Amino acid sequence: MTYTGVGVEIDVSTGEVQEFEIPEKLYYDYRGIIGIAYHYAEKLHFEGDPLSSENFAIFAAGILTNTRIPGATKVVAISKNPVNRTFGPAIGGGAFARDMKRAGFDLIILNGAAEKPCYILVEDGRVTVEDAMNLWGKDIVETTDYLKEKHGGSVLAIGKAGENRVPISLTLIDAIHHLGKGGLGAVLGSKNIKAIVVKGKRASEPANPQEFGKLVKEFRDRVKADPVTKRYADIGIMAAWDAWAREGYLAFKKKTVVVSREVVEEFGVRNYKGRIKKQSTGCSGCLSPCKSILEARLGDETIETKASLYLGVAYEFGVKCGVESAEMAVKCHDIANRHGIDAMLFAELYDFVATLYEEGKVFEDELGFEPSRSGEAVIKVLEMVAEGRDFGEYMGRGFEGLVEKFGEWVRKESHFIKNLEPLFDPRVSFASESFGLFTNPRGAQEGPVTITVLPGRDEEGIRRYMKRIGASDELINATFGEVFNAALYTIAVENWLWVLNGMGLCRRESIAKSLDIETVASMFSHATGIESSPEELVAAADKALTMVRKLNCREGYSRKDDTPPSRFFEPLKTWEGYKIWRDYFGRVEITPDMVEKMLSDYYAWRGWKENGCP
């Protein structure tokens, strides 16, 4: 079987390590690791501060990780997120999940808080709490390099922002793969945990090796033959850069206007390949390595750094912050990564503050600096955030920190959702990517990315896609009417995404395009010996989503928190004129009442109450 059936709980307050058996019934009940992880999260729920010793951190390795399936690399992390007190999951790639399984564990649960800095070493079924005094104060790259040289394996680490319990901090796996949007870095920092090292030699043996091997070969052949695989290995999701600019996603100034063509060119594909990219890299065993090692020269300085998404680097520091060049964006990215700062949220906050300053609504004397669109200013604020000092103390808390600093009036200017930044925009494309901003259990950032990320798909194509990912005929038919019901489409796509998360499968196009619900159900069945239909996988994903919604509702979340900000009902200025919020096919202008009706539809289909709680 490709699951170990074993978890380990570490109380770092006492150093006690308790190995436990995960009942086989849970694998039948949840048919994916994410539901099992939330089963334990429900037992650990508490009412207190996310940065107290009461909080927990759960790491769960996808069911199909540590196999030969390309893209089966994902680890799930669950905690009470400091930035907004939600329990939404974080998903990360790399080799951490694989090496967890090789070490003998499906789950790692961390509790308590150590008296002094430590790191967790998980090696071949043995777990120890090691001294990390010599690592405290080091950045993520330095920490990762030291621990890899000492132990090998895969390393998850925090930087200065995590050490200082900054709510917008995260962790990095092997100094490249981000994990923990929402403040996982701060949670580990509050526990005095600098890093987790996982390594081992345990093999994952599928229950039906012959049939499983056949499925894997067929899937690998499809991935290899897909032209997207080669394109992603070349430029990653920068393949979408020009289309994102043209349609309106590359907007700044509080999401009111798209950046200039000159900015798009400076941070675009040509300069990425010609001046910035050194080589491709990716997750363990991936056939389409979409990540990269970057090299930038600024005067006499040469910066070499890793990026899970160069599009992120360009979007965050080029589009949002407005730094001078692609090279400067790389430098800012390197600093954010080393400190363990969520650069996407940081950049949205920086743009928000810079725009208020440009509009004459906030002033240099109350900020303590001039929020210019320059690398020098951005780096200054990154350091303040990482250290939790001066204005960085407020910015490090997300949008709510800005409310605390400036006052309630800034809420009228806001486009943030649940204290997180929305990447997508319903004025560009109103489907799962944007409706999912409102229902994402972690907070905005993004809804599930699918074929509808850009406008232009026809109804028949979307129907086929929904069928392929496991939506029922009833749900598919209800999605289409006079107005495309983005809420119901989002249900289908969220369920699919959570099926993938439970398996540990990558959702990026180079992998997910070659998958369908039938294939995943067969993979799961032959890997585990648990015969599963597509309908059972979808039902299990729906169950897991309801579990996290219950946890969020216990923190006070409800329908009111799913309501979109008024900013989205204002026009967006693009290169080709103004865009307003319309349904996906552009037939009908969307009003607040229509969104409320879609939220009601969403809750009803999920079996939740009208207030949005199960």
**Structural domains counted in the chain:** 3
103 and 158 co-located in one domain: yes
The neighbour count for residue 187, using CB atoms within 10 Å, is 29
Three-state DSSP at 129 gives: strand
Specify whether the CB–CB gap between 574 and 567 falls below 8 A: no
Instruction: Report the candidate in 25, 26, 91, 28 with the shortest Cα–Cα distance to residue 62.
Output: 91
Q: What DSSP element (H or E) covers 58? A: strand 57-61
Same domain, 406 and 276: yes
393 shares a domain with 454: no
CA-based nearest residue to 127, from 55, 188, 198:
198
- CB of 316 closer than 8 Å to CB of 333: yes
Residues 139 and 80 in one domain: yes
Full-prediction pTM beyond 0.85? yes
Which residue in 464, 493, 438, 482 sits closest to 584, CA to CA?
A: 482
pLDDT mean across residues, the chain: 97
Q: How many Å apart are CA 562 and CA 572, to the nearest integer?
A: 21
Lowest mean pLDDT among 268-277, 445-454, 544-553, 564-573: 445-454
Angle between helices 399-406 and 343-358 (to 10 degrees): 30
**The pLDDT of residue 398:** 97
**Can you give the pLDDT at residue 382?**
98
**pLDDT classification of 445: cutoffs 50, 70, 90:** confident
Residue closest to 522 by CA, chosen among 70, 60, 206: 206
pLDDT in tens, 512-538: 999 999 999 999 999 999 999 999 999
Q: Mind listing the pLDDT tens digit for each residue in 369-386?
A: 999 999 999 999 999 999
**Residue written as tokens 């395009």?**
513
Q: What is the pLDDT of residues 189-210, one digit of tens each?
A: 999 999 999 999 999 999 999 9
- Quick check: 315 and 268 in contact, CB under 8 A? no
216 lies in a domain?
no
Tell me how far apart the alpha carbons of residues 71 and 513 are, in angstroms, rounded to a whole number: 12
In a domain, 369, yes or no: yes
3-state secondary structure of 528: helix
Report the SS3 class of residue 579.
strand
486 and 539 belong to one structural domain: yes
Same domain membership, residue 400 and residue 302: yes
CA dist., res. 477 & res. 385, Å (int):
48
Taking only the tens place, the pLDDT of each residue in 150-170 is: 999 999 999 999 999 999 999
Range of the domain at 341: 229-413
CA distances from 336 to 105, 327, 351, 383, 614 (A): 31, 14, 16, 9, 38
pLDDT band at 447 (very low <50, low <70, confident <90, very high): confident
242 lies in the same domain as 138: no
Is residue 460 assigned to a domain? yes
CB 540 within 8 A of CB 503: no
Q: Are 176 and 241 within one domain?
A: no
Q: Which amino acid is at 609?
A: K
Task: Give the Cα separation of 148 and 425 in Å (integer).
Answer: 40
Beta bridge partner(s), residue 307: 292
Judge whether 223 lies within some domain. no
CA-to-CA distance for 188 and 614, rounded, in angstroms? 30
| Segment 572-598 mean pLDDT | 98
Report CA Rg, the chain: 23
Q: Quick one: average pLDDT of 289-306?
A: 95
* CA distance linking residue 221 with residue 184, whole number of Å: 37
523 domain-assigned: no
DSSP 284: T
- The CATH number of the domain holding residue 111 is 3.60.9.10
Question: Is residue 222 in some structural domain?
Answer: no
User: Is the pLDDT confidence value at 49 over 90?
Assistant: yes
The pair phi, psi for residue 571, each rounded to 5°, is -65, 150
Closest C-alpha among 88, 87, 63 to residue 75: 63
Q: What is the mean pLDDT of residues 232-247?
A: 94
**Position 379 in a domain:** yes
Per-residue pLDDT, averaged over 28-40, amounts to 98
Residue 295 included in any domain: yes
Is the domain of 263 the same as that of 397?
A: yes
Express as a percent the part of the chain with pLDDT over 90. 96
Tell me the β-bridge partners of 291. 281
Residue 585 predicted with pLDDT over 90: yes
> Which pLDDT score is estimated for 446?
83
Q: Are residues 372 and 439 in the same domain?
A: no
DSSP state of 374: S
CATH number at residue 267: 1.10.569.10
- pLDDT above 90: residue 129: yes
Mean pLDDT of 467-481: 97
Pairing of strands 6-11, 107-111: parallel
Burial class of residue 27 in the structure, from the number of CB atoms within 10 Å of its CB (0-12 exposed, 13-18 middle, 19+ buried): buried
- How confident is residue 322, by pLDDT bands cut at 50, 70 and 90? very high
Distances (CA, A) of 462 to 136, 161, 399, 449, 490: 50, 42, 35, 13, 12
At residue 35, the pLDDT reads 98
Q: Clarify whether residues 459 and 587 are in a common domain.
A: yes
Query: Do residue 407 and residue 438 come from a single domain?
Result: no
